[in-house]
Structure 1
Amino acid sequence: MANGACDVRVYNIIILGLAFMFIFTAFQTCSMVEKTVLDSVGKSNNDTNNTFTGNGYTSLGIIYGVFSVSNWAAPSFVGYVGPKLSMIIGAVLYLLFILSFLKPMEWALYLGSVLVGFGAAILWTAQGSTLTINSDTETVARNSGIFWALLQCSLLFGNMYSYFVFKSKSVVTDTERTDLFIGLSSAALLGIICLFLIRKRRTSDAENLVNLNSSGSQSADTALSALKRSFQLLKTKEMIYLSFAFAYTGLELTFFSGVYGTCVSHNLHFGAERNGLLGLSGIFIGVGEILGGGLFGLFGKRTNTHGRDPIVLFGYLVHMLAFLLIFLNMPSNSSLVDSAEATYIESNKYVALVCSFLLGMGDSSFNTQLYSLLGYMFPEDSAPAFALFKFVQSIAAAAAFAYSIFLNLQWTLLILVITGTVGQYCFNVIEWSSSRSLHDGYVSID
């Protein structure tokens, strides 16, 4: 393979990672502060005529609900438009949603949520295509690791910015909200510009690509075939078991990306710095994600020596510890309203930040191993398998945002404990089954 071809591939992967880092610096920061920001609309100016009633949880629930449904249409869209243009269109929809926070209006909030749900589906489908086109069997793991590391950096930068904007503020003023979302919109725009810089690869260099069935050259017929195969896979024992693990990742995604940050900012025991802690919480989640991704993703060959199940068990135990500490450290109604309700231990901001780190570490443990197991078990059906993963995950995330509107924190944590236990067990059942098949000679891998 020519060195020039290698250079273009590496260049494209780095540019892709940087683009997603900027786009999700904007969006992930937005999702973590959305509930807090919208609850503050009108309060800072004592505006008694303020009629805005938009709800952050409802908005995020709409996003993931539309995302789950749109996963089935996205392959056809990307196949017709092409991966690069699809990513640009998807990123523009993200930008429009973030711009709507400059002047919150209920109709714009919910319309933007619908658009982002569809934009997310085509953005991630096209991302898979771009990663595939620029990888081969020897570089796909490395390229995925590079992309993961750059993507997770988005949790650091945006939340660091929001920390300094909200520091020592008990209410987010209109001016502070405007400053934050101008900054986030600029980051999203920078990500869109990066997408324009992705280069085309020459077709003569396309040997030995990993067949993820997601190339932009795939026709709508191929996308339809992948859709049919997805429904067939959904009926298998392996996918039914794994769906419980998929669902858990969706529920805990909702918790760490929306609910937990709201609990931190609503906890009146933290005083005037509680909104600043919201940004710090996001930073510590990002550190946990990056560290976990590095340990279990980039260095997977070493950490997977004893199988995937010990890593998932580790992630499960880390999450259970985090849920216990959050239960003890946070007021039970802090996920819904500002609260000074008594807690089982004296509310401690350092414990809150440790919990943020544990949430990120546990999430990376589950997700890296699910990606690894799906790629291992379904090498010929990876696109349908990953479509099912995203579908179940996003349905669960949407459901979690729906019940988070009215459930107190302890009930949300109980749901996570139960589903996490079931999801971890079901993952292990399939992991052990696949390991036995390999030992008995039924499965062959490189």
Structure 2
Amino acid sequence: IERFPFYALSYFQQTVVKSLQNGTFSGSGYNSLGIIYGVFSFSNLLAPTVVTVIGPKMTMFFSGLLYSGYIAVFIIPSTWAFYLTSVLIGIGAAMLWTAQGHFLVENSEASTINRNTGVFWGLLQCSMLFGNLYIYFDWNGRTEISVHCVSSCSETILRLVKDKTILLLSPCMAYSGLELSFYSGVYGTCIGATSEFGEAAKGLIGISGIVVGVGEIVGGGLFGLMCKNSRFRRTSVVFLGMVVHFVAFYLIFLNIPNDAPVVFDTNTLKNPYLTPSVSIALLCSFLLGLGDSCFNTQLYSILGHVYAEQSTPAFAIFKFIQSIFAAVAFFYSGYLLLMWQLLLMVLLGFTGTLCFFVVERMQNFSADLQEY
């Protein structure tokens, strides 16, 4: 629940921060998100120790307090507090994701891991609905926005990092980080900066966030609740996620101006290949959310299946890889034109999907050997 306002806030953070620029505040939304995910990535190396020492429930509680502090900064914005709480929430996020991954696997069996993952992901993404509903109604028409344990956990992480399965899943995890930064921070900013959308552009950021959330919830429910638990299903869902994302990237390339991510003081100056369409923009939002749920639910599922006895360090490694690539993406998002950002995601997404297929093939082969 604590992440609900943060998820909505991160979606339009760069747009908010651009409107706060003055003599006393000079923060950057992209830089803040980059700091968050940078600290997040390295904090994941310590998260398993914290979860083991104080337990997943207390870890989630204290992490929630750090999330609250970050959100409270926007009441009276100041640059130093903005970046300080960015560091703190990066630490809190690592603890929270690792703790909830451990808690999820601890309370699941092989026959229920997909169902529980789907329910978790669907509830999590409700944040995209509630927070962005407020943004739409409030912003529409506006042009501006005002010890032994430590050693044991470390050894386990170091051992798993070298594991063939983790290495093969790394490109898929890395891709989830790039597309996370894109749908949660960059795409909404692009919509808000598109001059062809006129006065409705800022309000469309909220609508886009809602539609992304709908895609996430539909994906979480469809793949977590309606499908039976099987390894074949995982590969099918990941392949669907790749196709859905590639379609979305192509439509975004045609529909959104190429300079949309990098303009700060003005709206876009370049013209896209098509006349920007609100319908296409929102369709892409839905596809981004749906594809993201495909990758994340199946990564959670396969990690919970393969590393049922080592879930805490496995999820820590997953979030480490995901967040470090998200951090890198947030830092370059304000400098790279849209087409290059989309191209990077296409290349890594294709590689990650192939590697996921290899891992599933390995798991099928191992299961067949055990039967004999």
TM-score range, shorter chain: over 0.9
Distance 1:70 1:428 in 2: 29
Paired position in structure 2 for 1:353: 282
5 Å-filtered alignment, 1:92-131, equals 92-131=65-104
Corresponding letter in the other structure for 1:316? M
Alignment check: 8 A CA contact 2:215 2:287 kept: yes
The 1:398–1:406 alpha-carbon spacing in structure 2 relative to 1, beyond 3 Å, is same
Paired position in structure 2 for 1:424: 353
Deviation of 1:341 (Å): 1.9
Corresponding letter in the other structure for 2:235? D
> Which deviates more from structure 2 when the two are superposed, residues 28-37 or residues 306-315?
306-315
Paired position in structure 1 for 2:370: 442
- Give the alignment partner of residue 325 of structure 2, picking from 375, 392, 396: 396
Deviation of 1:391 (Å): 0.9
Q: Any stretches of 5+ residues in structure 2 without a counterpart?
A: none
Alignment check: 8 A CA contact 2:102 2:315 kept: no
- Give the alignment partner of residue 300 of structure 1, picking from 218, 223, 227: 227
Structure 1 residue matching 2:336: 3-state secondary structure: coil
The 1:298–1:222 alpha-carbon spacing in structure 2 relative to 1, beyond 3 Å, is farther
Distance 1:230 1:80 in 2: 16
Does residue 1:257 correspond to 2:236, yes or no?
Answer: no
Paired position in structure 2 for 1:318: 244
Deviation of 1:89 (Å): 1.8
> Which deviates more from structure 2 when the two are superposed, residues 139-148 or residues 161-170?
139-148
Paired position in structure 1 for 2:212: 285
Alignment check: 8 A CA contact 2:119 2:224 kept: no
Paired position in structure 1 for 2:15: 36
Distance 2:344 2:113 in 1: 36
Corresponding letter in the other structure for 2:60? M
Deviation of 1:223 (Å): 5.0
Paired position in structure 2 for 1:408: 337
Structure 2 residue matching 1:146: 3-state secondary structure: helix
Show CA shifts across 1:297-341 (max 9, x none): 123316x47442221111101000000000111111111212142
Alignment check: 8 A CA contact 1:269 1:340 kept: no
5 Å-filtered alignment, 1:10-409, equals 20=1, 23-41=2-20, 50-131=23-104, 134=107, 141-172=114-145, 174=146, 221-222=148-149, 224-301=151-228, 304=230, 306-337=232-263, 338-409=267-338
Taking structure 1 as the reference length, the TM-score comes to 0.78
Deviation of 1:138 (Å): 6.1
Show CA shifts across 1:254-273 (max 9, x none): 00000001101111110001
Distance 1:362 1:53 in 2: 34
Alignment check: 8 A CA contact 1:160 1:280 kept: yes
Distance 1:297 1:245 in 2: 19
Distance 2:52 2:160 in 1: 22
Distance 2:107 2:304 in 1: 17
Corresponding letter in the other structure for 2:5? A
Distance 1:286 1:233 in 2: 33
Corresponding letter in the other structure for 1:325? L
- Bigger relative contact order, structure 1 or 2 (CA pairs below 8 A, ≥6 apart): 2
The 1:374–1:140 alpha-carbon spacing in structure 2 relative to 1, beyond 3 Å, is closer
Corresponding letter in the other structure for 2:143? S
Paired position in structure 2 for 1:17: none
Structure 1 residue matching 2:45: 3-state secondary structure: coil
Q: Any stretches of 5+ residues in structure 1 without a counterpart?
A: 1-19, 43-48, 175-219
Structure 2 residue matching 1:52: 3-state secondary structure: coil
Superposed structure 1 runs of 4+ greater than 6 Å apart: none
> Which deviates more from structure 2 when the two are superposed, residues 131-140 or residues 117-126?
131-140
Distance 1:131 1:170 in 2: 43
> Which deviates more from structure 2 when the two are superposed, residues 160-169 or residues 236-245?
236-245
Distance 1:134 1:365 in 2: 22
Paired position in structure 2 for 1:15: none
Show CA shifts across 1:18-77 (max 9, x none): xx2xx22200111011100010115xxxxxx63422110100000011111111212222
Alignment check: 8 A CA contact 1:63 1:114 kept: yes
Deviation of 1:379 (Å): 2.7
Structure 2 residue matching 1:102: 3-state secondary structure: coil
Alignment check: 8 A CA contact 2:192 2:202 kept: yes
Give the paired residue count.
Answer: 369
Deviation of 1:129 (Å): 4.4
Corresponding letter in the other structure for 1:245? C
The 1:83–1:386 alpha-carbon spacing in structure 2 relative to 1, beyond 3 Å, is closer
Paired position in structure 2 for 1:214: none
- Which of the pair has more CA radius of gyration? 1
Distance 2:363 2:107 in 1: 29
